[in-house]
Every structure is written in C-alpha cells, then in structure tokens.
Copies of this chain bind each other. A is one copy, B any other.
C-alpha cells in the first residue's frame, strides 16, 4: 500500500522524543523506550541504524546515551526514510539497474519511473522532522498539482 516500514515510523517517534533533551544531555535506549511506549530492543535497533546514518550520536560507557547531531528543523524527512528503508525506489528498474526485472527488454516504461521517484523525493525533501513534531501545522493547499511532466 505504498507504506513505509514500521521502523521508519518508530524512528520519527524516537527522534521527536530525543529532542526533549538536546542541551548537552543524552537519553538512554531504555529511557526512550519507556517514553515512547515501544519495546526496548526495537528502540535500540532504531537508534543503531540512525547512528549508523549519522542522524544521532551515541556515547558509550556509563552515563552514556544518544544525542541528536542536528536540530530537527535541519533534518528532512527523506533523510530518515533513506536511512531506515534505503533509497527511494518505487520499482525495480531505477537508474541503471539491470537483471532485476524479468521483462526489462520488452517493457515500454523502462526507466520512466525515475521522474516519479524524483517527484516523491522532492515532496519529501521539503518536510522536516520538526514539521511532524511541531504545532498542528495547517495544510493550506498551496498549489493544485504542480505538474511534474510537461505535456508532450
């Protein structure tokens, strides 16, 4: 259903909670688990992946924990999605991938999905995590469609 993975969803929740203590302090994985209501191993896994992508920073040892590397306003949503779910790729044939699709030779839409991917990437790049956690942002219907393709 064009649904992103649960881990990505949890990542956003954890990131917003992690914003509660950004002033030098760190939060532990069990602490975040308790704050978010998620299972501890799951939160730990999410934090590990986020740390691997550089979105959060982990400090080991006693009094260790996780800390944001950037304010949430400077963290676009696409970065989180890319970190958790991998790059945006609606179909198997992206960029220059071969051999993944059985009918790549006779397919008339071979490589035509790239603009669609670009459109979604652009839509997701304009949204930051702060927008998802901030005040009840209103959607003002800015423009009807902003067409991506030029009519041939």
Contact = CB atoms under 8 A, between A and B. Distances in A.
A17 interface: yes
Contacts of A88: 1-2
Interface string A4-38: 10100100110011000000000000000001111
Given A137-B152, A152-B135, A37 B103 contact: yes
Interface string A35-48: 11110000000000
Contacts of A13: 103, 107-109
A35 B106 contact: yes
Interface in A84-128: 85-92, 102-103, 105-109, 112-113, 115-116, 118-120, 122-127
Given A108-B17, A112-B133, A150-B138, A89 B127 contact: no
A43 B127 CA distance: 38
Contacts of A38: 102-103
Nearest to A103: B37
Copies assembled: 2
A145 B127 CA distance: 9
A81 interface: yes
Nearest to A128: B149
27 contacts: A1-B88, A2-B89, A13-B103, A16-B109, A17-B108, A35-B106, A36-B103, A37-B102, A112-B137, A115-B139, A116-B124, A119-B124, A120-B123, A120-B124, A122-B146, A123-B123, A123-B148, A126-B145, A126-B148, A126-B149, A127-B149, A131-B149, A135-B152, A137-B152, A138-B150, A143-B146, A146-B146
